[in-house]
Amino acid sequence: MPAPILLNPVPALAPAALADAFGRVVTPHLSDNLDRMAGITALQRFHRGRKLVGTAFTVKTRPGDNLAIYQALPLLQPGHVLVIDGDGDTNNALVGDLILSYAIQRGCAGFVIDGAVRDTAAFGEADFPCYARGVSHRGPYKNGPGALNVPVAIAGQVVNPGDLVVGDEDGVVTFPQADAQRLLEAARRSAAKEDAIRAEIQTGRVQQSWLEPFLQQPAP
């Protein structure tokens, strides 16, 4: 008999306007304003280039087993990101083409998986946001146990159900919705600061104001 799966309430989706705003923010600006200590750095990207923005629907599963993921799929709402803690195991793929197809129909925004995937060509063809630890042709078991919408650890980053998830070519950053407005404003300031530096570089001057603080020699 399969082991039981703990089912917790489905997290509320972030407001659409907030998700749209983060679609125009790059992950380095978010990371910089999270003290450069947060975010997920150990996963590979398996889609072409679509931005990932959505609300974390978390799954904790036994390595190599996707019964809990099957339980999660019908509960997904458009805008949820399936965040799966598979303990970093890459021996057996947790998701593949069939789960991908169903998730697209459910309006899922993407996958973030501390585990393996397979049928990787399908993720590239669909350009469906998918970040995972690795690839395996071996399929999963379906025995459980597992839990839905509990805090999970993805490559060392704690992700809570309902967190905002933003991913691009540089990786994935997650944070509580309560911190979203502060981060959005801080990221806009970071972008404006970099635009100013970029404009100064284009002047061709050797002496640059943004470099000067780092070039000063300490007093003997």
In this predicted model, what pLDDT tens digit does every residue of 88-139 receive, in sequence order?
Answer: 999 999 999 999 999 999 999 999 999 999 999 999 999 999 999 999 999 9
**What predicted TM-score, i.e. pTM, was given to this entire model?**
0.94
Adjacent-strand bridge partners of 110: 81
- Strand, helix or coil at 133? strand
Alpha carbons 95 and 108: distance in angstroms, whole number:
14
Contact assessment for residue 138 and residue 92, using Cβ atoms and an 8 Å cutoff:
yes
pLDDT at 1: 75
pLDDT of 217 higher than 80: no
Average pLDDT score over residue span 194-201: 96
pLDDT of 167 higher than 70: yes
Domains of the chain, earliest start first = 36-175 (3.50.30.40)
pLDDT of 25 higher than 80: yes
Question: What confidence category does residue 218 fall into, taking pLDDT thresholds of 50, 70 and 90?
Answer: low
Hey, CA dihedral for 139, 60, 54, 185, is it positive or negative?
A: negative
Please give the full DSSP string across 45-92, using - where no structure is assigned.
E-SSS--EEEEEEEEEE-TTB-HHHHHHGGG--TTEEEEEE-TT--SS
Q: Kind and range of the H or E element at 117?
A: strand 110-117
The percent of residues in the chain predicted with pLDDT above 90, rounded, is 93
Tokens of 4: 């039981």
Contact assessment for residue 216 and residue 209, using Cβ atoms and an 8 Å cutoff:
no
Contact assessment for residue 112 and residue 128, using Cβ atoms and an 8 Å cutoff:
no
83: number of CA atoms within 13 Å, CB side? 34
Alpha carbons 188 and 198: distance in angstroms, whole number:
15
Average pLDDT for the chain: 96
Nearest Cα neighbor of 8 from 147, 144, 142 is 147
Question: What confidence category does residue 220 fall into, taking pLDDT thresholds of 50, 70 and 90?
Answer: low
